[in-house]
Amino acid sequence: MESQKKYTPTFSFELFPPKTEAGMEKLQTNVMKLSVVNPLYFSVTYGAGGSTQERTFESVNWLVAKGFGTAPHISCVGSSREKIIEILTYYKSQNIKRVVALRGDLPSGAGLGGVGELNYANELVALIRSEFGDYFHIEVAAYPEFHPQAGNANSDLQNFKRKVDAGASAAITQYFYNPDAYFRFIESCEKLGIDIPIVPGIMPISNYTQLARFSDSCGTEIPRWMRKRFEAMGDDIDSIKSFGLDVVTTLCDRLLEQGAPGLHFYTMNQSHSVLKIWNNLGL
């Protein structure tokens, strides 16, 4: 963890673009609540479909108008170089200096082969650096428990290194509940000479069934001792929330104590759990 300890911890919150007016109102209300703790930035995810992209721009514009640090996500799958440059030129015109650069996923069934001009996130990072120089602070994704499509652990690490070599400034991890997976990942990165902040992504737990389904698809392991405890709670939402809060607070505590360079919360456009964890941590 030595490579991580030299960075001043940063705290940030991730949002997704809501589908409805009511969803947008909820996002705005929760952003106002979260802003009280003064995060470095709010990031907004970006999907492969046209309508969801419009909603990302809408959320980003609102955050910028409110004066919040804003980091739009941008993905390359299914997109052209021209379109990516056009979007980033717009962000630059809005004085946005930070982006989260991803390959992205196509909706299931669409297939990935040969769609779009850029196949992997390292190519996107290289494009951003070649077109915009050092203007953008580029965040990329990291996978302490490895990406589900990775050939193997070593090739996944090498592929992560490609993004760093292409010019990534920092990374945000996929969420995880096993802190040792993160510590080992950092150790492996250190051995490869990777020297950027790698901020743990934190997913608060409020709905175990949903979390279990989603974790399966993105390759996050829910440790057996946690699963067993959650399963025993059945539909008892209050117990699930309270245990979830405990588990995630302990995780964050341990990560920060061992030198993690901050926390990036997957807020799911909610504020309650994140603020509770924040208060528990005494940040």
User: What residues are annotated to the active site?
Assistant: 14
Q: Using CB under 6 A, which of the segments 21-29, 141-149, 184-192, 246-254 binds ligand FAD?
A: 141-149
70 contacts ligand FAD (rule: CB under 6 A): no
The answer to whether 122 contacts ligand FAD (rule: CB under 6 A) is: yes
The only residue of 3, 30, 79, 174 in contact with ligand FAD, by rule CB under 6 A? 174
- Output the six-digit token pair for 72: 């739009």
Three-state SS letters, 16-58: CCCCCHHHHHHHHHHHHHHHHHCCCEEEECCCCCHHHHHHHHH
Query: Is residue 47 near ligand FAD by the rule CB under 6 A?
Result: yes
Smallest distance from the beta carbon of 124 to ligand FAD, in angstroms? 8
Based on the shown chain and the rule CB under 6 A, indicate whether residue 279 belongs to the binding site for ligand FAD.
no
**Contact between 144 and ligand FAD (CB under 6 A)?**
no
Asked if 44 and 269 count as a contact pair (C-beta separation under 8 A), the reply is no
123 φ, ψ (degrees, to nearest 5): -70, -35
Contact 45, 105 (CB under 8 A): no
Whole-number minimum distance, CB 64 to ligand FAD, in Å?
A: 17
- Does position 45 interact with ligand FAD (CB under 6 A)? The reply is yes
Q: Are 266 and 277 in contact, with CB atoms under 8 Å apart?
A: no
Distance, CA of 119 to chain centre: 20
Contacts (CB under 6 A) with ligand FAD, residues 188-207: 201
CA dihedral of residues 37, 261, 91, 69 (deg, nearest 10): 10
What amino acid is encoded at 23 in this protein?
Answer: G
The count of chain residues that interact with ligand FAD, using the rule CB under 6 A, is: 25
Q: Which of 75, 220, 267, 273 binds ligand FAD (CB under 6 A)?
A: 75
Longest dimension (CA), the chain: 53
Given the rule CB under 6 A, which residues bind ligand FAD?
45-47, 73, 75, 100, 102-105, 120-122, 141, 147, 149-150, 155-156, 159, 162-163, 172, 174, 201
